[in-house]
Structure 1
């Protein structure tokens, strides 16, 4: 028997981005499941409500355009608020010629679908690893020569030889990070207790000195295990928490909040051509001044940094490790609250059978 293709309703219900049907008065008349997840409202609460009562738009120009019933609109990277939650989204608005005044709106969180492979990016990530390989052998020779020279120097000159060895060690550590960035084989994943990994990362950061920054845990204790590499996840969290601590240190009431929650499966990415639901969210937020606006769209690229002494590999490595776990990470600056958020989304361990 020939399979019956799904109808338009089933197709819209299966989309991973939000779809809203708006009447001429901007009242929501229909909402697909992805809209419920993204806006954190059930269809029963969305349908019949004004769009501008359900969400708040940070761009006044977009809000003004919504009042034009025949306007077509495409917006990228706009901040949208749903209650206390702020997200960066891409939005489209399409008028229905068959029904004057009626429009279809689509909303997708910025970064959704970023798991698609980009050969150019893979090449860019491998380049530091290739360079690191070529650097490592000369470094070992320089260090050995420095140690030999130190034995023959007078006591007063030995600090110079020690400085050479220390600098070689520092460069070697940087080279190791470059090699890890370009490594093609990912760490194996397994069920991981999320909060054990988070607390271990927080303990590591505290042991290195918190710099007077308050580290706050806001956990949902009911969350099930995630599918991840324990070591990779801890490394990701150590990097993000340390960055947040450094970003707000010296400010008024410096604070980094590590929050976990269930995100209702609102985020799906494509890995090897299949959708992977990522319902577990970890957010690391700090109340520092934020990243330079000129760098915000490039923070996960290699060698991009706003730190005077940074190498720009930390966040590039973070994104690689998260992607290796089939997860997703995004960055957002919320000027309204003065907070910088890094959000990680990971799959549930029980979903592994569905992906094989």
Structure 2
């Protein structure tokens, strides 16, 4: 008869962070996922008060967490983990067999199955309804221009140029709602990055570009042109964020994270995304008022921004089976946009 995994092996295999908290409120045990999420080893976490490790921003949640006999489930709550502010999902389960002891689970609210939600349908429907009257307006302006004098032609030209601008915006909205499947193929992840880098360096003089690549990364299963667009959009956002920054610097980094797994409810199974691409800048960071919604359509901190760039980035990454999120490293004074991608072949 096959012997099943021991309890310790079962805990090690969990893809979410798990902490065992003793009656005094101190951490007694932590699984490997907790070590990764909290950025500290099991030995360094042991004996530390839970409230010190999880600096929760919600006072009500902090009070409930202090009660050792309270069962708790909370989603998308703010927490300070070392120098990083993060949104997490939290559960607290008291152990009836051992009064005062609790099991606490944590997961990153930005990295769960929300990465695969269909967020593009509304823009596509709206785009379809707008394009037909736009074409009629442009045609009417052209006809009117033929009957007017030269001084009035400026007005009809203005109408036509504004219609063209809005039509371009509508086209970008439609791309968010496109359901056409990308043709994925094995690719060296660095090839699309190099292509995006060449365009960026030609349009961002004065910005220092640091490249840190892991040449041993196996091929990934992606759509190469889409990854070029994703990286180029992230680099353009970094460039814009650095306009007022002395000694502006952008970092592109790749690495292999062997244990990286996410929940993919759409696929009904965990998904391994071990290849990581980071685009980092030393700008002031994202406005906290929109930090949790930067990938939503029409959300932008720029005065002239349309709020479609990062929404399209998220869709393209999602369509390649990957995920994207951002985090702020206050200690380093850096904002990171992080992409995780699947491997090609049987290991993907």
* TM-score interval, smaller chain: 0.7 to 0.9
What 5-or-longer segments of structure 1 have no aligned partner?
Answer: none
- CA shift at 1:288, angstroms? 2.5
d(CA) in 2 for partners of 1:139, 1:220: 48
Distance (whole Å) between structure 1 residues aligned to residue 218 and residue 347 of structure 2? 16
* Residue-pair matches, total: 342
- Pairing 1:125–2:120 present: yes
The normalised TM-score by structure 1 is 0.79
Shifted more, 47-56 versus 184-193: the winner is 47-56
For 1:330 and 1:293, locate their aligned partners in 2 and report how far apart those are by CA, in whole Å: 15
Alignment of 1:98-113 (within 5 A): 98-113=97-112
CA contact (8 A) 1:80 1:89 kept: no
* Aligned residue number for residue 38 of structure 1: 37
Task: Report the Cα distance in structure 2 between the residues aligned to 1:245 and 1:90, rounded to whole angstroms.
Answer: 32
Q: How do 1:230-245 residues align onto structure 2 when only pairs under 5 Å count? A: 230-245=224-239
Q: Distance in 2 between matches of 1:337 and 1:127?
A: 38
Determine the structure 1 residue equivalent to 2:46: 50
- Give the Cα–Cα distance (whole angstroms) in 2 for the partners of residues 127 and 73 of structure 1: 34
CA RMSD of aligned residues (A): 3.6
Is 1:260 equivalent to 2:261 in the alignment?
A: no
Matched residue SS, 1:283? strand
Change (3 A) 1:164 1:155: same
1:354: Cα distance to partner? 6.0
Deviation at 1:36, TM superposition (A): 4.5
Report deviation, 1:183. Answer: 0.7
In 2: Cα distance, 1:327 partner to 1:215 partner: 25
Aligned counterparts of 1:194 and 1:154: Cα–Cα separation in 2: 57
Q: How does 1:161-180 map onto structure 2 within 5 Å?
A: 161-180=156-175
Give how far 1:48 is off. 7.5
Structure 2 Cα separation of the partners of residues 314 and 70 of structure 1: 46
Cα drift, residue 300 of structure 1: 1.6
Distance 2:258 2:248 in 1: 31
Q: Say yes or no: does 1:80 pair with 2:81.
A: yes
Alignment partners' CA distance in 1, 2:228 and 2:95: 49
Give per-residue Cα distances to partners, 1:237-294, cap 9 Å, x unaligned.
1111111211221222222222222223333121421211111222222233333322
Report what 2:293 is aligned to. Answer: 298
Residue pair 1:88, 1:332 contacting (<8 A) in 2 also: no
Q: Pick from 125, 133, 136 the counterpart of residue 138 of structure 1.
A: 133
SS of 2:178 mapped into structure 1: coil
1:224 maps to 2:225: no
Structure 1 residue 178: deviation in Å?
0.8
Q: Is the 8 A contact 1:22 1:28 kept in 2?
A: yes
2:204 is paired with a residue of what secondary structure?
coil
The residue number in structure 1 matching 2:327 is 332
Cα deviation, residue 150, structure 1: 5.4
Q: How does 1:16-31 map to 2 (within 5 A)?
A: 16-23=15-22, 29-31=28-30
* 1:140-289 equivalent positions in 2, closer than 5 A: 140-147=135-142, 158-207=153-202, 209-210=203-204, 212-270=206-264, 271-289=266-284
- How many Å apart are 1:181 and its aligned residue? 0.4
